[in-house]
Every structure is written in structure tokens, then in C-alpha cells.
């Protein structure tokens, strides 16, 4: 069994690490909340480590999936970070949705140590992670990608190298731009249907077979209609992603007026107490506005 480490056992990392273990990898895990790592080991076997460095010791590949740029720097570049223990020739695969700036920083730090680095954010949400159906968009060196692709395929339905360091994160930004626009449009459509006296479920059942169809429509229209927002990716995390995307757009000159506006809308959802609601909660803002009117 090839020895690997997984750093970060949140709603995504926990099942992703589990798929690696089920595929026959010898997995060592680290999580800042130790009880979470202990629970993973109790369920899957493997070993829990006290530090990222301890988890990474002797591993051919180290996977990470944590919260933001600062979290990645801590677990990879920190005093007890993975890079302090990883050997030349090993590979870091960072699945965190982070900035392209950080991806390039990690790539440069890895090259100094002879460590291959891939920025490899994922899409598909908690359900995709649990079912092994994630989409992985990767930036890095093709030779490093070739060595790591099979391991990523364990928890993915699609894995693609998008270009050099940072291009995985840039592709994930495109993903978030598109999702934000679709969710806002769906929110407005369902809200309009309610205000017009239509049955939103009947409306969607008709239009889902035409050009308006989307993943969000198929998977979220019922919970949006009912005002239930406990599914999937949280508003707080979406605002983090959109913030990085808008920062990057200022660097590359892209014009993202709709994305900037929807980011503000998500800020209003946070103001309603919905920071931990899923991203489909944009409709709650519209309904709150109607109640005020």
C-alpha cells in the first residue's frame, strides 16, 4: 500500500480520505480538531497524527483540504507543516479552494525542496465527495499530474490538468462565477412565480425540460421553495471564494459586474443570519425584501 496523508477532515476531506483508504492506500490523517481525526480512524482505520508534519512523514503524496489561504500556509509551510517532513520527490495535492497567488507560492516553495505541487480545487459539494463524484481542476507540472492522477480519480468523476501552477484555482473561480449567476437567476424565477400566484413546483417541472435547466434547478428548487437552506456549500465560504475571484479580476482586468453584485447580495444574506445557510439562500433575501415592502 502506498503511504499518503490527508490534512483536513471537514465535510469534503473526511469522505475524500475515506475513498483513498477504501482504494487501498495507507492513509495517515491530521485535523486540527483531534476528535474528528480519531473518529475517521475509528471508521476507516489508518492512523491519526498530532501534526501535519507527523502525518506527512514518509508519504509519497500529501493531500490537503482546509479552509483558506492562511490555513493552507499553516498546515503546509508552518513550523510543524507538511513541508518540514516531506521528502524530495513526494507530491503535495492541495484541494482547498484558495487563491492563485497561494498556489504559485506553494509551487515555488515546493520546487526549492524538490517537492511536486498541484493546486487541485474540487467541485461537487458534500454529496460529490461522499459519492466519489467530484470534479477536480488542477494546476501544476504535467509530469507531477501524471503521477497523482490515479489517486485523485479515486474520489472524482473528472480530473483535468488546466495549466501551470494557479490554473486549477483560476478554473475554480470560473466555476464559482457561473454558480453565483445561476443561483441568483433561479432565486428570482422562483420568487417571481410565487408573487405571480403560480405553483413554483409546477413551473419548474415544465421549464426544467428546456433551456433553463441547470444542476441548481434540479437539486435545489424544492428546498428553495420551502425555505430550507441546510444543504451544501455555505454562504460564508462562497463569499470567501467570490472575494478571491474579485481580487483576481482586479489583477487580470476581467470585468465581473454581476459577480460583484451577487457577492453583495450574499453579504445581505449574512446580515439575515444566513452565513451558514447554503448558497441557494439568495432567495431568502428577495423574500425578506418583499416582507419589508
Give the H/E segment covering residue 203. Answer: helix 200-207
Beta strands per DSSP E along 73-188: 91-94, 116-119, 122-123, 134-139, 156-163
Catalytic residues: 172
Residues linked to residue 189 through DSSP beta bridges, in sequence order: none
Q: State how far the Cα of 113 lies from the Cα of 56, in Å rounded to an integer.
A: 14
Q: Within its chain, how far is the Cα of 184 from the centroid?
A: 20
Q: How many residues does the chain have?
A: 293
Q: State how far the Cα of 29 lies from the Cα of 48, in Å rounded to an integer.
A: 5
Q: State how far the Cα of 119 lies from the Cα of 97, in Å rounded to an integer.
A: 9
Q: How many CA atoms lie within 13 A of 211 on its CB side?
A: 0
Cell 472524482 sits on residue: 156
Q: Which three cell numbers stand for residue 234?
A: 455555505
Q: State how far the Cα of 57 lies from the Cα of 5, in Å rounded to an integer.
A: 9
Amino acid at each position: 500500500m502506498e503511504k499518503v496523508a490527508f490534512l483536513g477532515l471537514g465535510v469534503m476531506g473526511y469522505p475524500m480520505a475515506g475513498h483513498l483508504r477504501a482504494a487501498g492506500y495507507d492513509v495517515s490523517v491530521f485535523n486540527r480538531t483531534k476528535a474528528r481525526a480519531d473518529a475517521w480512524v475509528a471508521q476507516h482505520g489508518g492512523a491519526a497524527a498530532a501534526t501535519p508534519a507527523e502525518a506527512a512523514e514518509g508519504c509519497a503524496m500529501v493531500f490537503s483540504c482546509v479552509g483558506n489561504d492562511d490555513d493552507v500556509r499553516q498546515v503546509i509551510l508552518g513550523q510543524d507543516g507538511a513541508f518540514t517532513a516531506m521528502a524530495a520527490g513526494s507530491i503535495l495535492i492541495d484541494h482547498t479552494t484558495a487563491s492563485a497567488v497561494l498556489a504559485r507560492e506553494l509551487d515555488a516553495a515546493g520546487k526549492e525542496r524538490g517537492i511536486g505541487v498541484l493546486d487541485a480545487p474540487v467541485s461537487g459539494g458534500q454529496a460529490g465527495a461522499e459519492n466519489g463524484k467530484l470534479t477536480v481542476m488542477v494546476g501544476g507540472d504535467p509530469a507531477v499530474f501524471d503521477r497523482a492522477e490515479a489517486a485523485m480519480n479515486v474520489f472524482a468523476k473528472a480530473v483535468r490538468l488546466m495549466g501551470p501552477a494557479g490554473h486549477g484555482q483560476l478554473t475554480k473561480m470560473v466555476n464559482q462565477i457561473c454558480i453565483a449567476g445561476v443561483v441568483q437567476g433561479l432565486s428570482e424565477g422562483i420568487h417571481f412565480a410565487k408573487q405571480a400566484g403560480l405553483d413554483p413546483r409546477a413551473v419548474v417541472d415544465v421549464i426544467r425540460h428546456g433551456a433553463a435547466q441547470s444542476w441548481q434547478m434540479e437539486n435545489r428548487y424544492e428546498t428553495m421553495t420551502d425555505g430550507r437552506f441546510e444543504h451544501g456549500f455555505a454562504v460564508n465560504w462562497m463569499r470567501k471564494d467570490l472575494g478571491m475571484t474579485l481580487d483576481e479580476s482586479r489583477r487580470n482586468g476581467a470585468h465581473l459586474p454581476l459577480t460583484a453584485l451577487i457577492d453583495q447580495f450574499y453579504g445581505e444574506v449574512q446580515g439575515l443570519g444566513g452565513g451558514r445557510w447554503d448558497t441557494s439562500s439568495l432567495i431568502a433575501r428577495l423574500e425578506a425584501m418583499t416582507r419589508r415592502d
